[in-house]
Amino acid sequence: MVTLAKLHTFVEKGHRVTVIGPSAHHYYSGMGPGMLGRTYTPEDIRFATRHVVEKRGGTFLLGKAARIQADEKTVVLESGETVSFDVISFNAGSYVPQLNLSEPAQDVYSVKPIERLMEARDRLLELSAQKKISVGILGGGPSAAEIAGNLWQLTSDAEGQIPDIRIFAGKRFMARFSEKVRQKVKNTLVSRGIRIVTNGYVESIDNLRVVLDTGQAHDLDFIFLAMGVRPNPIFSNSNLPTGPDGGLLVNAFLQCDAYPDMFGGGDCIYFQQQPLDKVGVYAVRQNPVLYHNLMARLEGEALQAFDPGGDYLLIFNVGGGKGVLQKKWVTFGGRPAFFIKDYIDRKFMQKFQAIEE
């Protein structure tokens, strides 16, 4: 985002900038569940990438990178088109693994890409207007919790029936988090009738039937996939150096050691020094370093090292205007927690949306 906002500074120095993305807009995932619950409109949570790039003198290419030919310094798009580069930044994020689904099935939606949550929202409203449906959310982490809470909000506010909502959380819900956070999130969801299933991992999905590794089957009308994320597969598909999770392996300068003109940030990288959680906080903290290093590499100046920093603030939007907040030893829930998240997220978006004008 910082590099996009300052894109004109590259152009002013005589460089050509090409931005490749599958959509003219970039949607902020931190506000995605809130959009599902209709706290936010799609316009509230998106940034006009194409418009900003073109306004600042760059070229926007609508498309998806499929492979990188690092030795030739080209990116091959899914369309077959190739784009050459001198210096590149990868910010292609992550995806949700699809279990055994080979084709996108009807009424099965991943929590990413965020733009598909709009379609999911409309379909859920359509289905729950007809009858009481069963919705399964596969995954036991924060995005499963946020989707469940906001789905409850969406259907409570709409006409029609509130679905039977089940979270399939494997063996333990929100396992990575403190007991206090887990209990607060869990209590809020359970008090709304949301069920958290923790007696087995989902093994397969067939025709909206979810089968656990215990053999237990659940028939559903709608499924969300929220089983954590993996780095974009473009790097492993291109035989580039990757970390154990498949993210582009980068050094302290967010730079690929083997190909020093290649940089990256956010969910798609593996930071050599220490594994980083897949949270927007790190993507945001990397922003100024990436901008600096791209420019420095082009201009022959010194690179800056990225410091991941200490503990970060966590706030989950559990729907119904409530949140759960944790920072170090402080944990609280309810409306104040959501109020803080809403304030931070809106401010973040407004800062970057302001450059659209």
Ligand X SMILES: Cc1cc2nc3c(=O)[nH]c(=O)nc-3n(C[C@H](O)[C@H](O)[C@H](O)COP(=O)(O)OP(=O)(O)OC[C@H]3O[C@@H](n4cnc5c(N)ncnc54)[C@H](O)[C@@H]3O)c2cc1C
Do 112 and 94 touch, CB atoms closer than 8 A? Answer: yes
Non-local (6+) Cβ contacts of 206 within 8 A are: none
Which one among 34, 58, 93, 320 touches ligand X, defined by CB under 6 A?
Answer: 93
Contacting residue, 281, 295, 296, 340, with ligand X by CB under 6 A: 281
**Binder of ligand X out of 3, 10, 17, 32 (CB under 6 A):** 32
Binding mask 283-302 for ligand X (x = CB under 6 A): x-------------------
Q: Is 160 in the site for ligand X (CB under 6 A)?
A: no
Rg (alpha carbons) of the chain, rounded to whole number? 21
CB closer to ligand X out of 42 and 200: 42
- Of 210 and 269, the one with the shorter C-beta distance to ligand X is 269
The letter for the amino acid at 175 is A
Residue (185 or 283) nearer to ligand X, CB: 283
Residue 111 interacts with ligand X (CB under 6 A): yes or no: yes
Under 8 Å between Cβ of 321 and 154: no
Task: Identify the CA nearest to 164 among candidates 219, 96, 107.
Answer: 219
Find the binding residues for ligand X in span 313-342 (CB under 6 A).
Answer: none
Of 127 and 234, CB closest to ligand X: 234
Binding of residue 37 to ligand X (CB under 6 A):
no
Sheet containing 209-212: order of strands: 202-206, 209-212, 217-219
CA dihedral 269, 243, 310, 171 (to 10 degrees): 110
Q: Which of the residues 217 through 236 are near ligand X (CB under 6 A)?
A: 232, 234
- The span from the CA of 15 to the CA of 8, in Å, is 9
Give the residues lining the site for ligand X (CB under 6 A). 20-23, 26, 29-30, 32-33, 64-65, 91-93, 111-113, 143, 146, 232, 234, 266-268, 278-281, 283
